[in-house]
Amino acid sequence: MARALLDGHGRTVRYLRLSVTDRCNLRCLYCRSNVMQRCIPHSQILRYEEITRMVGIAASLGVRKVRLTGGEPFARKGCDGFLVMLHERFPDLDVRITTNGTLLAPYIPLLRHVRVGAVNLSLDSFDRATFARVTGRDLLPQVLAALDALLAAGIRVKINVVAMRGVNDGQMDDFVHAARNMPLDLRFIEFMPMGSATPWSVENFWSTADIQAEAERRARLIPVTADAAESGPARMYRIAGGLGRLGFISPLTNHFCLSCNRLRLTSDGALRTCLFADKEYRLRGLLRQPRITDETIVRVIRRACADKPVGAELLRARRGAAVAVKQMVGIGG
């Protein structure tokens, strides 16, 4: 194995987030707020074989966890076959998936077969009307059915809730009830000002401190000893007498940038070293040039990591304005 992948701040990269598509059957207000945004042409999307090659390169540099994101991963044809390919090529790799759950149900037996480490389910409300308001589609029953099926299959589930004041801040009873009665992690993520058309504002920002205070009015929360490799940036709490846990991710009010261990690869083959930085390193052309070796691509990745910024500094400089031109659907959730 090559020497570990270090950035300019001494952080070791162990985690790669791969967007397999920017297409999605939902239109969540925090992810794709610009209704006129066009999808990337298919010819510019990385082929599964190219993504697999990138996974191999990343694994040779010490990456141990890969998360498939979108858009919605299962909106791309052949995603199931790609999962089988990854499992066969990299049986020891910790592969996880972030999905909106609406298309997930038919693939759950496959996820178990290829031993997906966990499924992160984007679910911002258990209220049908609120779900439709956030996502633009009335598909909550399908998501809840997929959630039940994941748990029945014994697949680890993490629910990601983007916390928005005036949208889902009145639904803490539902969130606590879910975490108390189901063996899952439910994690609140502070709404971030991402994308040039972001609807983020001071008025709809719900801070982690306020979110946690609301949760603690309904349950006794017991801190869980941090396991950065597993919980990532979330501060996790057991619910006294409950089956699941609550977590709080605070990219704005209490950043975790100094422990960041990740890179992102967009569906069109751009390497991003920081969610908040628009700087991209175009790898698609290199992957499609027969004379370019893996060693050349490794050198590009190492140079990119050397310039990896501290996202909190970028955020602070923007003072509440959007911190990236691209919307989340184009970066990868």
Please state, in angstroms and rounded to a whole number, the distance separating the CA atoms of residues 8 and 6: 7
Beta bridge partners of 245: 185, 238
Please state, in angstroms and rounded to a whole number, the distance separating the CA atoms of residues 220 and 327: 37
289's enclosing H/E stretch is none
Average pLDDT of the segment spanning 67-89: 97
Mean pLDDT of the chain: 93
What pLDDT is stored for residue 319 in this prediction? 66
What pLDDT is stored for residue 36 in this prediction? 59
Question: How many domains is the chain partitioned into structurally?
Answer: 1
Check which CATH number belongs to the domain holding 97 and give it: 3.20.20.70
Average pLDDT of the segment spanning 268-289: 95
Residue 3 maps to a domain = no
What pLDDT is stored for residue 194 in this prediction? 86
Tokens 């920017």 -> residue: 22
Residue 6, phi then psi, degrees to nearest 5: -110, 145
pTM of the model: 0.94
User: Residue 225: which pLDDT band, with cuts at 50, 70 and 90?
Assistant: confident
Residue 327 maps to a domain = yes
Residue 325 maps to a domain = yes
The single-letter code of the amino acid at 61 is: L
Tell me which residue of 88, 9, 75 sits closest to 42, measured CA to CA: 75
Residue 5 maps to a domain = no
Residue 7 maps to a domain = no
Q: Chain-centre distance of CA 155, in angstroms?
A: 17
What pLDDT is stored for residue 230 in this prediction? 61
Which structural domain range is residue 70 located in? 15-331
Residue 6 maps to a domain = no
Task: Provide, rounded to the nearest whole percent, the portion of the chain with pLDDT above 90.
Answer: 80
Buried b or exposed e, range 199-213, using 16+ CB within 10 angstroms? ebeeebbbbbeebbe
Three-class secondary structure of residue 306 per DSSP: helix
Residue 9 maps to a domain = no
Beta bridge partners of 89: none
Residue 10 maps to a domain = no
Quick check: bond before 244 cis, omega within 30?
A: no
